[in-house]
Structure 1
């Protein structure tokens, strides 16, 4: 991982003792592990809070001694490790994934690490936050109210190529879909007739090309309608549009 990593919210470097055992758990020594490790079992925790990251690293190791665990304070420290990870656990520490700056930095980091799965750990269980994380490229979203065992299983799933989301969020989305489908309300009081038609298509997850075809519109016209819809809802992306439509309807 010899590429420059972004700073910002996660880029504040924290001075860490190079002999800190939390930097390399599950091996005999830092030097030996860095030399022999191929990244197939290395999980890296990125968390500015030293105590929390060391505790989480130790807990994960106790569940699976075969897994190597590194705990660092920032993306910049992760760059200094000079290793290839099998998964990266990023702790938000109260930050909101829907914050444009946080989301932008996360997207940049995910792009830099390539195919290494990045998993978000955050306090929120809001569907909009989870969807934003997944849209940013995260391969999992772990709320802080789950057990370490669940977190370990989520990491394993991401390492195997899957995507983890909390069950409560999936159930909440299901109920939202059911409620919307069973009791639709007219949208003409908020949107024009064309915008209302586009809204209905957006609710069903249709792509712009499909919407344009079904409504006999140019794709550029559909984009204009979507921008107007986002402006009326004060939303910044399609995910927020879908989330706010639930409340509206």
Structure 2
């Protein structure tokens, strides 16, 4: 990054954080008051670097980034003030929740945003019970992510509206669904809905037309007695056991 670009990116801050040659842990000097001390943990180096670039011109450029919490624990435990932790929870959600619970006990001021691949009601509840302030899918847009980080640092807890709806009436729908009523093709479509795929994407994945996808979605909603595809997907995410590929 040349001097001009560096100056634009960190306008008003002490200095740009430099990434080490492995792209793992990067630290910088003291930031000014407008910046939020941020730690990013994700085992995927490319994802870490991409997210750092996206956050470069925001108040949340990571002071430290690493592949695991163990690599940055010194930073988190040495800080007793407000700090933002963006944590990948895809591969070991239960373990991540335990680590978040421990960190929150050590420093209640830590604000944690957990990154997941899909919205699973049980996992969301576990994350919030552990002390996370928000759970977001890794496919979340840059703009939405920054808005959520803003809210989190205002000491808000951010629930996805569809999750809240399920919390308000947890049994009204869950007791009615019947996966056995679905055909093999409808189950395949439902698995795509769990991943948040659009009709167009589902059609391409299953090699069928969008019109056929719409027919299957309508049948799924009717058989599961779901109000919409999001409700069906959230319920099914805790009931479908996928066959290993």
- TM class, shorter-length: 0.5 to 0.7
Tell whether the 8 Å contact from 2:41 to 2:88 is kept in structure 1 after alignment.
yes
Partner of 2:87, secondary structure, is strand
Structure 2, unmatched stretches of 5+, are: 1-18, 177-234, 240-245
Partner of 2:110, secondary structure, is coil
Q: 1:161 aligns with which of 136, 155, 167?
A: 155
Structure 1 partner of 2:110: 116
- Taking the aligned partners of 1:67 and 1:145, their CA distance within structure 2 comes to 18
- Taking the aligned partners of 2:112 and 2:159, their CA distance within structure 1 comes to 13
**Residues 1:17 and 2:14 are matched in the alignment:** no
Tell whether the 8 Å contact from 2:112 to 2:132 is kept in structure 1 after alignment.
yes
- Taking the aligned partners of 1:111 and 1:180, their CA distance within structure 2 comes to 34
Partner of 1:23, secondary structure, is coil
How far the C-alpha of 1:74 sits from its partner, in A, is: 2.3
With structure 1 as the length reference, what TM-score do the two structures score?
0.52
Tell whether the 8 Å contact from 2:23 to 2:49 is kept in structure 1 after alignment.
no
With structure 2 as the length reference, what TM-score do the two structures score?
0.53
Structure 2 partner of 1:69: 62
Structure 2 partner of 1:187: none
How far the C-alpha of 1:49 sits from its partner, in A, is: 1.8
1:107-162 CA-partner distances (Å, limit 9, x unpaired): 21332233111111111301111111111111111122321221111111111010
Partner of 1:117, secondary structure, is strand
How far the C-alpha of 1:44 sits from its partner, in A, is: 1.4
Alpha-carbon spacing, 1:90–1:44, altered in 2? closer, same or farther (3 Å): same
Q: 2:119 aligns with which of 108, 115, 125?
A: 125
1:14-35 CA-partner distances (Å, limit 9, x unpaired): xx827959725xxxxx2xx24x
- Taking the aligned partners of 1:77 and 1:163, their CA distance within structure 2 comes to 26
1:171-230 CA-partner distances (Å, limit 9, x unpaired): 34445454479x8xxxxxxxxxxxxxxxxxxxxxxxxxxxxxxxxxxxxxxxxxxxxxxx
Alpha-carbon spacing, 1:38–1:74, altered in 2? closer, same or farther (3 Å): farther
Structure 2 partner of 1:91: 88
1:16-70 CA-partner distances (Å, limit 9, x unpaired): 827959725xxxxx2xx24x567951221111222111111111224x2x44423
Structure 1, unmatched stretches of 5+, are: 1-15, 25-29, 184-242
